[in-house]
Every structure is written in structure tokens, then in C-alpha cells.
Chains A and B, each alone.
Chain A
Amino acid sequence: MPETSLQAPVIDTVERAAETPDREQPYGALGLKDDEYARIREILGRRPTSGELAMYSVMWSEHCSYKSSKVWLRQFGQKVSPAMKKNLMVGMGENAGVIDIGEGWAVTFKIESHNHPSYVEPFQGAATGVGGIVRDIISMGARPVGVMDALRFGAVDSPDTARVVHGVVSGISFYGNCLGLPNIGGETWFDPVYQSNPLVNALAVGVLRHEDLHLANARGVGNKVVLFGARTGGDGIGGASILASDTFSEGGPTKRPAVQVGDPFAEKVLIECCLELFRQGLVEGIQDLGAAGISCATAELASNGDGGMAIDLDQVLLRDPSLTAEEILMSESQERMMAIVRPEKLDGFLALTEKWDVETSVLGEVTDTGRLRITWHGQLIVDVDPRTVAVDSPVYERPISRPAWIDAVNADTAAALPRPEDGDELREQVLRLLGSPNLADKSWITDQYDRYVLGNTALSYPDDAGMIRVDEASGLGFAIATDANGRYCYLDPYQGAQLALAESYRNVAVTGATPAAVSDCLNFGSPENPEVMWQFSQAVTGLADGCLALEVPVTGGNVSLYNQTGDQPIHPTPVVAVLGVIDDVARRIPSGWQDEGHNLYLLGTTSLELDGSAWAGVVHDHLGGRPPAVDLEREKDLAALLAAAASESLLGSAHDLADGGLAQALAESALRFGVGARMWLGELCERDAIDAATALFSESTGRVLVSVPREDDVRFVGLCEGRGYPVLRIGVTDGSGPDAAIEVQDLFRIPLDELRVRWTATLPAHFA
């Protein structure tokens, strides 16, 4: 620790703390406020020892305690219908939520932020973000089977963006590839609002049989508490309290020592070791060590169990023997796990960790004292009720205030901006959008990730969602997508959050899967800013209302606050991950056209909704107005329609319409397999009373572009009409090869080669 060293000349024992009530303690430097420190003294009836202070400071940090967000997050537990609980095996509050997907299988998934470390040290920050979320999955008893990430970077042409992009992408590539987990998608955005505050949200999914589900708790008096995995070192100390819960300030001291360092090989071995421990029934529960390290693991295990635990800190295997007790309690060294083991199974446990060359030490045991007691050099340095550390942390009802600027921003609609009218101008703008950083091809990034390993990847980037087969015999699988649009959320955080949910939901539905559960990663500025807190409260309420309307439960996630530099917060960015289930991945719907002569249908209707759109941003550098309307009942109908069409195998392809509107969906559908199309927009413009530019660039929701083989035409149209969903034929797929093109009748023709060059050139031009 810098200036305010915790190293006391003599060990700060419980006894000494009681005798020296007036000793000054560096709680401010550890991120605790005056009233929080007073509360700790009140709980203990004395001043905390330096070890206790270390524990409380990390566990009561914003990152670990959710003290500013808790009051709003409760809605996810309150706005729940019976249908949402039906397949929910484990809800929020555990390491990760678990969903029953049928046939005795369950899926667990979670998305989590690693934003601040990824700015300070992009490579290690992103790498350990992957490592941390994967350990959450393992601790549920599941085998991790896939990862994806939602990334936000600064302006594409800023020199510092290249530093962060290279570090983050190679960190994810290094760690995920080495773990042997396919990276099946995600998203990448560039916007100056993330310049000094990139977002790295890592998602992992695991699968397990119902009977293999394990919860991390310390039950059974006399059971052993065992630490295994990597040794404990000086990395990541105070990461939770100082890094994740503080705002970056210009010219402040470098925070690099607080970023953890990852070793994916150690984690890969740890995965296999944990799965074998579970399989052989050698453990009662396993808790991963993430933020707040041993402090968090011991306090949470004890709180979730019988309440008591006795730990001898001298038993912790160290990488650096000079570490103090406080540093050991706070260290966030990676690739460590804590297990609860019955005494009679300890020998078996140790034999198995030895087989995998995983270092192990027994730290103590579960007690019935209701106290978490930790000794160091034979002296008692921590004696607390673990619930006061892990559960009953402070709860703040932060002031909220609707920003004064929002009315003016909402009034500034993009509908007033000049729209192109002739074919040449439309053609030029289609290409400009396609090559813009947020819509351009991301394979420069995704080609650095292994998408094949494990052999079950049924869909991955550039498909709308990733898809993984779970059961090799039946073909049962899941699809998953993440989405967030910070521009929409800036205009209206309530609706913006619902738009993210609707898009993610639709991205899963277009694969033919049925959406089943949600995990979210809520990235916002400082909660001490009432306007940010208003954005947060609106977004959470929008998301909770939206999940209730769609009847998909939120199973867990993460909140990342203080994403701002100085006074400038990021756009509110609630990243929403939706997971869906599909009975047989063989019936999944491709995202692009594969065959000539299929009819192209547009599902849904289009209105003049260009506010916050990619078109407004790219062509006019404009952000104002009100985001597109969301109709969640319609989204539900659309998902059901797609699932029905998929189960009858009526669709050649399906592609969601979102950023960039129809123009982007056409280009991506064509480029996926190199098949062109002839389009006509006349009927669409007439039916919806819009101009061609609106037809191409509007971001109205509830729309999907599908291709249908001619022989299935009648059945497909009948299916749509029977369900009352608007459907209109707008084109037909054409040939492939060098002459392939997208031709929009009376307006323009763009050869696929030209489209491809524009789409693929942008990222390599900036980063390769």
C-alpha cells in the first residue's frame, strides 16, 4: 500500500484493538467513509483490527456490496411471474444463475465487468476478466462451454484506443484460447464517451446435469476449509476497494499494482481438477476467489452456511513470504478456489489435487460459533460475525435527479435532418454506414479467438447469436447474445434498457431458439452524481419491467459504477445477455442467405425512427430525440413465430434488424455466404408511408429479415397471417460469384465485392 501502510510494527490483534481504541486507522485511503467506519466500530463494539478493517473495506466497497444499486436491483426479484420461476433452478445472489433446459440438463451463465483494470492494464485486465467469470461458472459444479464479451472502446482513430484494443483483444485471446473455451460472439462499439473508460464485460456459460448442481456454503461443523490453486501473491491488493470503486482522476498515482495477473494454464488445470472433485463427491462446496480474495470467500462461505469458521492464515501458501496478514486477506491473486471438505474425504481430496499438480493447504474448519475467527502467528486478528461483512453491508438510497438537459436533447429529433433522396446518395450512405466502426466487420477481433474448440459450436460471429450444442445425442442446445446501445440509453435510459433487452431477445429468437433467461452487466458513471443515479434507476426499472413483460427471469449479473473520468460519465450502458433454448441445434436458422431464388420477407413494420440511430451518428454526427418505440408483446409474438417457423424448417435464413436498419441487415445477410439479392422497396414505402431512406436506415424494432425457399412460401406467409404478424415480400435472393450484388430496384446496385471491401477494411486499417 502507498503512503498509508497497513503494516503495524506489532501484530494488530483483537485484544490490542480493544486496548487501543484511539489508534488512528487509514480507513479513508481504503475507500471507507466516516459513517461506514463508525458503523464498523459500532458492530464490533471496539475499533477494528487492521485485518478486520481490510476485510470490511473491500467487502463494503461498491464493487462487492452493491451498496448504491441494491435498492433498485430488488426489482429483479420482485417483478417476477410464476412462468419466470418455472425453469429457474438458482436465481440471483449465487455465483451464477442456473436454468433448467430440459432432458436433465441445466445451464449456468453470467456476465461481469472488468472495466477499470482493463484501462489501467488492458491485457491483464481483460484476461483476468475472463478468468474470473469462468471460475464463477465452475463453482456451481458446471463445465464451462463458451465465452463471449461485450466491449466498448473510445474513438476508433484515437491513438490510445489502439493501445486499449490491442491489449484487451490479445488478453481475451490469450486467456480464453488457452482455457479451451470457444468464443462465440459478443459485440464491440467505439464511441468517444468510452475514451478513458473502456468497458470489458465478460460472459461465460457452463452446462451441468441437474444432480451436479453445487452451491457454495460452509455447512457441517468440523468440515475442513481448504484453499487450492495458485499461490497467494501481492497482485490485485485493494483492487476491489480502490480500483473498482473509485473514479479515475487526471494526474493521480498509477494504479497498476492493483491489477491482477492471470495464468490461464493454472486455471485450465483448476477447471479439470474441480470437475473431478465434484464428480468423485470429494467436496461439499467450492467458492471461487475473485474480488476481495480470502476476505470474500471466507465471509461468504460462512454467511451462507452455519455461520462460523476458524482460519489459520499462516497456512496460506505464499508466492511472496513478506506479505502481511492484511495483504493476504485482500490479495486478488488469480486461479484460486476455496473448498469445504468432510474430514473423512480430505485424503481423497489431497490425492486428487496432487494428481493435477495443484497446490493445496488446509486453512481451518467450519464451527458453530457464529463468528469468523482468523489467527496469524498464533494470535487472533479477526473476530467478526461474517454476515456483517458479506451480507449486512451498508445500503444507500442515493439522491436521484432527472437531468435538466434531457428535455432539450429529446426535442432535438433526427427527423429534421436532411435525408438522401436519389439512388446515388443512398448508395453512398449505405456504404458509409457499412464501413463505420460500429457496423464494420469485427473479424479482425474474432479471428483471434478460438471458436471451434470443444466441437459443439453451432453458431458464432458473424451470426446474430452464438449457439452451443449441449447434448450430443439429442442435439439440445442453447443460443446466447449480448446487446446494449449506449446512445439510446443516453436519450432515455428506461427505454434504452428495454431496447437492449428486446434486441438481445430478438437475436436469440432469429436462431430458432426460445429465449429463457437474462443476465445483465450494468455499466454507469458515479452513483454520487444524482443524474447518473437517475439514469441507473430508470434503466434498472426498464429492464425489470421488460423482463416481466417478456417473462424471462434475470438470473444474475453485475453492476459497474464510477465509469467516468473527472465529471464526464459514460453513456449509461446496460449490457443485456439473453440465453435461449433449442431442442435440436440442427434446426437452427442461419443468419445469411445460402441459396438462389429464395423469397425475402420483412417481418414487422417500419416508421420514421432515426433518433439515436447509426445513420444519425455516422452521417450527421447527431445524437438527439427519442429512441425507437419498443413493443414487448410484439417481440414475444415475433419470437414465437420464428420458433414455429424453425421447427417446421420453413426458413432459409433470418437476420435481426437493429443498428443500421434494413441496409445493414441486407449487407450482412449477403456477405455471410456471398449471395446477392434483387430488392424492391416501393410496396414497403407505400404500406408504411415512409421514404426510401427511412426504409433503409430506420431502426424500428420488432423487425426481422427472412429468406424462404419457394416451396415453403405459402406455408410461411400463412403462418405469419395466422398469427397476425405483418409480413411483406421485398426481394429475392440472387446468384453468388463475381457478379453477385445487392440491387435495389430504381435506386442502386452494389456488387458484393465492393460491399465486402467497405465492410472488412475498417478495423484492420486502424489496428492491424
Chain B
Amino acid sequence: MRIGVITFPGSLDDRDAARGIRIAGAEPVPLWHGDHDLQGVDALVLPGGFSYGDYLRCGAIAAHSPIMTEVIEAANSGMPVLGICNGFQMLTEAHLLPGGLIRNEAGAFVCRDQRLRVESTNTQWTSAFEEGEEIVIPLKNGEGGYIADTATIERLEGEGRVVFRYLGANPNGSINDIAGVANERGNVVGLMPHPEHAVEPGFGPDTAAAMRSGVDGLRFFQSVLQTVLA
């Protein structure tokens, strides 16, 4: 199975996402924002970073990159697409996911080991989790406050499309503590925390068992492996 990771100018966690994919047992395929070519991949990751320096709005310029034509087409025909942090911002800017992300309520960038509750396992990126399970994934962003109009929030909640919720103190002022959402089909998922930073013992978040041993992020990539191969 081949999973594409798109590099935009200013992408930062692209190689980390590729590492997570490799550890999960799939083949990462580097893709370039300026190409109109997905190289026949089975799934896509839009990685974190500061594409185009976050100028205009986070993800706004990248959402109009040449490759996004193909990304939107693939997403609409059911290909699994995961947007992480800046990638999530791009997916909302490209209207593949509803809502938007605004500056953290406290104003400052925040980096922390974040507890999350898995609210939905009915997506192609979360099937390997248990519903209601608590996981820890690093969070690091300056503009991660999820917002949408009331009708959209009600719809997301009603349809079970809120995929992750922050536990403990809300880190960025997101409505209903929303950390990640999915589209109607469940193939497109976006979240602010970074699963690719919890894939390798020794380099992830702390756990009760040992320092930096958290690997909860691995199951994002294992989920998509299961669903695509099924």
C-alpha cells in the first residue's frame, strides 16, 4: 500500500508523516504541491507546517496549489485523506471539511502532550481505535481553535462526525472541545494534534510506563491500511 505525503513550500512535518507511514508498514510516496500527479497512491496525507508562511490565512494559499485539483477529485471519489494541523486547515479552506481554524484563545502557540477521546471509529483513519478510548497525541499550533456556525456544529455532532475531542483543559478554544472532524463518507479526516509524533518509542509523548514511549498515533496509519486492504 502506498500513501502519498504532499510537500508544500513551508511544510514541516512531511518527513515525520512519511516515517509514521513506514513504521505502520506502508510505503510513503513524496508528492510535490506544484505537480498535477498523485502517482497512483492509495491514500493521502496533508502534513503539518506553515505552508506559505501562514500568509493570508493558514492553509488558504496551499488550498489553491496545483495538486489540490487532484486531491479534491480523489477525496470526492472516496480516497482516504488525512489533514494534520496545517493540513486540516487546508482541508477546511478547500471545503473538503466544514468549519475553520482560528488563533488559539490564549493568543500564544502551544506545544503539549494532549489527551484526546476518540469519538468515532467510523472513519477510514480511526477504525483501529476503540470508541471512547483515551489517547495521547502531541499538539502544537498557533491557530487551532475550531469554529463553525451553530447549524454545522449540530450537524457534525448529530452525524457522529466529531472524530476527536480534547480532554482536560481546552488548549485553543475549539467549540465543543473539537480536535478533529470527518466528512460525510468518513474518508476525509482533519485534526489539529499530530499523530506522526506518536509513532516511535523514545520519540513520542511521555506515558505512565516510560519516558517518550507513546505510540497512539500509529493506529491512524494502521486504520487506513486495514480499510484499504479490506
Contact = CB atoms under 8 A, between A and B. Distances in A.
Contact of B203 (A177, A448, A456, A673): A456
Nearest to B112: A447
Contacts of A396: none
A269 B211 contact: no
Nearest to A768: B106
Contacts of A356: 9
Contacts of B10: 178, 265, 268-269
Contacts of B194: 452
Contacts of A594: 210-211
B57 interface: no
Given A448-B108, A454-B15, A455-B19, A264 B50 contact: yes
B27 interface: no
A480 B147 CA distance: 41
Given A173-B108, A173-B109, A455 B212 contact: no
B202 A448 contact: no
A487 interface: no
A586 B142 contact: no
A449 B109 CA distance: 7
B206 A673 contact: yes
Contacts of A187: none
Q: How large is the interface on A (under 10, 10 to 19, 20 to 34, 35 or more residues)?
A: 35 or more
A458 to B, nearest CB: 6
A590 B139 CA distance: 22
Interface in A159-217: 170, 173-174, 177-180
B212 A458 contact: yes
A505 to B, nearest CB: 23
B25 interface: no
A461 to B, nearest CB: 11
A510 B52 CA distance: 40
Contacts of A268: 9-10, 12, 50, 53
A342 interface: no
A88 B52 CA distance: 38
Given A178-B53, A457-B203, A447 B111 contact: yes
B50 A453 contact: no
B200 interface: yes
A458 B138 CA distance: 14
Nearest to B55: A265
B126 to A, nearest CB: 21
B160 to A, nearest CB: 30
Contacts of A269: 9-10
A481 to B, nearest CB: 18
Interface string B62-83: 0000000000000000000000
Contacts of A170: 108-109
B140 interface: yes
A174 B107 CA distance: 12
B49 interface: yes
Interface string B36-54: 0000000000000110111
Interface residues of B, number: 33
A450 B140 contact: yes
Contacts of B219: none
Given A178-B53, A180-B49, A594-B210, A454 B202 contact: no
Interface in A265-282: 265-266, 268-269
Given A455-B15, A455-B19, A457-B203, A449 B111 contact: yes
A178 B197 contact: no
A357 interface: yes
Contact of B53 (A263, A456, A586, A590): A263
A453 B53 contact: no
B212 A448 contact: no
Contacts of A452: 111, 138, 140, 194, 197
Given A178-B53, A265-B55, A458-B203, A453 B13 contact: yes
A599 to B, nearest CB: 19
A90 B9 CA distance: 32
Given A178-B10, A265-B10, A265-B53, A448 B210 contact: no
A455 B210 contact: no
A264 B51 CA distance: 11
A673 B16 CA distance: 26
Nearest to B212: A458
A506 interface: no
A450 B210 contact: no
A455 B16 contact: yes
A172 to B, nearest CB: 10
Contacts of B52: 265
A177 B202 contact: no
A371 interface: no
A429 to B, nearest CB: 30
A265 B55 CA distance: 9
B216 to A, nearest CB: 14
Contact of B142 (A177, A357, A456): A177
A452 B54 CA distance: 20
A34 B186 CA distance: 75
The residue in A268, A472, A590 that gathers the most chain B C-beta atoms within 10 A of its C-beta is A268
Contacts of B177: none
A707 B53 CA distance: 45
Interface in B184-230: 194, 196-197, 199-200, 202-203, 206, 210-212
A455 B203 CA distance: 6
A224 interface: no
B110 interface: yes
Contacts of A178: 10, 50, 53-54
Contacts of A179: 12
Given A178-B10, A180-B13, A450 B55 contact: no
A768 to B, nearest CB: 8
Contacts of B111: 446-452
A703 interface: no
A469 B203 contact: yes
Contact of A586 (B9, B50, B106, B202): B202
Nearest to A267: B53
A676 B106 CA distance: 32
Interface in B129-153: 138, 140, 142
Contacts of A264: 50, 53
Contacts of A174: 109
Contact of A265 (B16, B50, B200): B50
Nearest to B53: A265
Contacts of B106: 768
A590 B15 contact: no
Nearest to A166: B108
A673 B202 contact: no
Contact of A177 (B55, B109, B196, B199): B109
A585 interface: yes
B109 A448 contact: yes
Given A453-B16, A455-B15, A594-B210, A447 B202 contact: no
A71 to B, nearest CB: 44
B19 A177 contact: no
A633 to B, nearest CB: 32
Contacts of B210: 594
B19 to A, nearest CB: 6
Nearest to B206: A673
B89 to A, nearest CB: 14
A269 to B, nearest CB: 5
A397 B30 CA distance: 57
Given A265-B54, A448-B110, 18 more contacts: A173-B109, A177-B109, A177-B140, A178-B10, A180-B50, A265-B9, A265-B10, A265-B53, A268-B9, A268-B10, A269-B10, A356-B9, A450-B109, A453-B12, A453-B140, A455-B19, A472-B19, A768-B106
7 contacts: A178-B10, A180-B12, A265-B10, A268-B50, A269-B9, A450-B111, A456-B203
Interface of B: 9-10, 12-13, 15-16, 19, 49-50, 52-55, 106, 108-112, 138, 140, 142, 194, 196-197, 199-200, 202-203, 206, 210-212
A-B pairs, top 3 by smallest CB distance, nearest first, are A265-B53, A180-B12, A455-B16
